[in-house]
Amino acid sequence: MSAILEQLGLDQTFFAQLAIFFVLFVILSRTYFKPFMALLEARHKKTVEDREAAERLMQQADTKFQEYQRRLAEERAAARKDYEEILNQAKKEEANLLSHAREEAKKITQDAAESANAQREKVKQQLQADVESIAQAISEKALSRKV
């Protein structure tokens, strides 16, 4: 074995250094490496938990967004329905107003036509009376000239 150690260039100090290394490794692993590994594990766990929490929040946000879109579509449909009802009512009121206006205009036109007919009849009667008096006056003048 000493031949192998000489061939590798190792002497008695190698074993002492190896023992010191193992002792230091055991001490450091308990005082430094284990807490450091626990810290890395906690960090990894926190990162995974944060990622999972973020995914849950994203799912909640997606759910709320879908709910928002559904409610928005419902409200738009309700608003469209209300708009069309109001538009139909306005059209009915417009038709009623136009109908009443037509009837009123027709009545006014008929009254005006009747009034015009009455006045024409009155004027006609006056003219006939005047024609008769004028005809009588003309005939009297014509007869009085001859006589």
Q: Decide if 11 contacts 5 (C-beta within 8 A).
A: yes
- Residue 146 has a pLDDT of 60
Chain-centroid distance, C-alpha 75: 8
What percent of the chain is predicted at pLDDT more than 70? 97
Which two structure tokens, joined as six digits, stand for 84? Answer: 């069309």
pLDDT of residue 147: 54
Give the three-state DSSP class for 1: coil
Spans of the chain below 70 pLDDT = 1, 5, 145-147
Domain of residue 11, residue span? 2-146
SS3 97: helix
The pLDDT tens digits for 29-71 are 888 888 888 888 999 999 999 999 999 999 999 999 999 999 9
- The total of structural domains in the chain comes to 1
Given this model, what pLDDT does residue 66 score? 96
In this structure, what token pair is assigned to residue 7?
A: 């061939």
Contacts of 11 (CB under 8 A, 6+ apart): 5
